Amino acid sequence: MNDTLLEAAKRIAAAGSDSARLDARLLWEHALSTGTDFQALVARRERSEPIAYITGHKEFWSLDFKVGPGVLIPRPDTETLIEEALRLMPDRNAPLRIADLGTGSGAILVAVLKEFPKASGIGLESSPEAFGWARDNAARLTGARAQILQSDWSDAKGPFDLVFSNPPYIPSGEIESLAPDVSQFEPRASLDGGPDGLEAYRALAELLPGLLKPDGYSLLEIGAGQANAVMALFPKLEILRVASDLSGIPRCLTLRKP
């Protein structure tokens, strides 16, 4: 690591990043590839702006998603939902109909459609900013197989073989305690799950039975420690399993419509 990178890493670390060396290297590579001023990028990171917003890109499921202000940044934990879908549906050529409620950047929907080349899907996103990112990512990475709508979940028209959602699940009172690159920059509507973090799951419990085909599946991301509370909200669906992410945290709740 050269002196410029070392100095940048020190500045970023002093600002609170626990991945300062990696941050500096990513910003250096971005500056070289785009002709952007490196010191200006470092200054943005010093203010806790997420690396993905600064570079405009985030990898998810080995795919390159464009992201920026107004959209939740895809996380590796969410790939657990894709892994579970592949386990449930071994026939990769199945002509599945898929929905992603609150699609954000479109990461889940696009990744699943890449794995099931004969499937089609719809992503619903109420935020105008996030809708723009999802629409562009879906068009670039899946073509016409993904339809992105700027609308509420309740506008979804089933039936679907698979319904995904990574809903907001952070209790309102805990958001300010999150890392500043999350709490100060990412959209609060994508984080805030209400006083107990479960408001979105209550809405999903009402919607999912009417959206799924018989024997259809829903895969929901859940927060740490929420599994039992979330499962109790879905008496009309069969609870199949809770899968853990790579850190061992229960992350994906799989439901089936009998």
Can you give the pLDDT of all 258 residues of the chain as single tens digits? 688 888 988 898 888 888 899 998 999 999 999 999 999 999 999 999 999 999 999 999 999 999 999 999 999 999 999 999 999 999 999 999 999 999 999 999 999 999 999 999 999 999 999 999 999 999 999 988 999 999 999 889 989 999 999 999 999 999 999 999 999 999 999 999 999 999 999 999 999 999 999 999 999 999 999 999 999 999 999 999 999 999 999 999 999 999
Q: Answer yes or no: are the C-beta atoms of 244 and 250 closer than 8 Å.
A: yes
Instruction: Report the pLDDT value the prediction gives residue 1, as an integer from 0 to 100.
Output: 61
For residues 185 and 48, the answer to whether their CB atoms sit within 8 Å is: yes
Report the C-alpha gap between 16 and 152 in whole angstroms: 37
pTM over 0.85: yes
Domain residue spans in the chain? 3-47, 76-256
Class of domain 76-256 (CATH, top level): alpha beta
